[in-house]
Amino acid sequence: SQKFTIIPEGSSLPTSGVVKIGFDPTGKDLHLGHLIVLQMVKKLKDNGMDVHVILGTFTAQLGDPSGRDATRPMLSSADTKANADAIISQLHRVLGEDIKIHYNNEWFDKMTLPEMIQILSKYTVDYLLSRDAFQKRKEAGATIAMHELIVPILQGLDSVQLNAAVEVGGTDQLFNFLLSREVQSKAGQTPEICLMAPIINGTDGRKMSKSFNNCIYLNDKPKDVFGKSMSLSDEVMHQWYPLFFESYDPKEHPMKLKKALAVEITDMIWGKGSGEAEKNTFEKVTSGDLPDDIKSFPNAPLLDFIVGIAKVSKGDARRLVQQGAVSVYKDGSPTKVGLDYKLQSGDILKAGKRNYGKVE
């Protein structure tokens, strides 16, 4: 909890009531940044609070402008509902089944235009434009769409709908959280306490983003969660460590620290024991031993086979071969192969650091 910023500062967290966490389903995948927030929600749940998840099937169609330097594209209701449904299974895996799920289009679809105008009349454009993301856009000469101004108010109305006592999210939600407290106060409710998690950088040290291909996703296979964690630079590893451990010795050998971090993250996503299992497999592979769970695939031309086992493009598969990162194991011994190699039944192919496949 010491890693989270609390609003109002110094507030005591309740042990009963509603804890709210919201997701605008603009995509189907949750990543490690979401996991940090979900772990806090789980702690509050274990301490006696009722978890209510808001899936912004209405607000996602508008697009939360938090941290954005351009207007998000507006999504269809079908797309947001499909994304929301995909997110639910990931939430249950981390938080358990005993949580309450809400789609916020359920109440916003029923709201009349006069009701909405009455709510909006309580807020000024100057105040809504004061948020940092909008100020940066104005300075850059970028446009701000009218619908973006009202998203924070709508998220505040979600809190009113639940009479939320606590809300948990990232530090990029500061403006939304402050406005949610104000919306609740205007509705005659006690404003929620807000807990904000630090924003985590991606595996390459930049902001964690799908567009940068630097995310660890909650739906990544345990092998990939562990492998991505092990691929961190030492600098990024030391950025991540305080988010997952209360204390650690930064002078410890980086490889030992990285393995412990990879085990912890894999366990958090896939359950206790999964991290240690992946660590054992990883150590077998890096010591030259083959893993025990190599899957078989139908024979195919070399590049097509690599595409199938490594989930890369054909161009990337070609580059792996040209870089000497593709080997075939015969009788347990690896031999690097060229582009002209023809796979044979029984061959075990290794492509990159962690991708194996056996030829049927």
pLDDT tens-digit map of 36-78: 999 999 999 999 999 999 998 888 777 555 544 445 566 677 8
Q: Are 181 and 209 in contact (CB under 8 A)?
A: no
Report the alpha-carbon distance of residue 25 to residue 36 in Å, rounded. Answer: 18
pLDDT tens-digit map of 188-222: 999 999 999 988 999 988 888 877 889 999 999 99
pTM of the model: 0.74
Q: CB under 8 Å to 358, separation ≥6 — which residues? A: 294, 295, 296, 297, 346, 347, 348, 349
List C-alpha distances in Å: 172 to 65, 66, 67, 103.
10, 6, 6, 22
Extract the tokens encoding 188: 């005659």
Among 128-132, 194-198, 254-258, 323-327, the minimum mean pLDDT is found in 128-132
pLDDT tens-digit map of 277-297: 999 888 877 766 777 778 899
pLDDT tens-digit map of 328-340: 987 667 889 999 9
Q: CB under 8 Å to 119, separation ≥6 — which residues? A: 153, 157
Question: Which position has the higher pLDDT, 286 or 356?
Answer: 356
Task: Outline where 141-199 has alpha helix (H).
Answer: 146-162, 174-186
Extract the tokens encoding 170: 């990232």
pLDDT tens-digit map of 125-178: 888 888 777 888 888 888 888 888 888 899 999 999 999 999 999 998 888 999
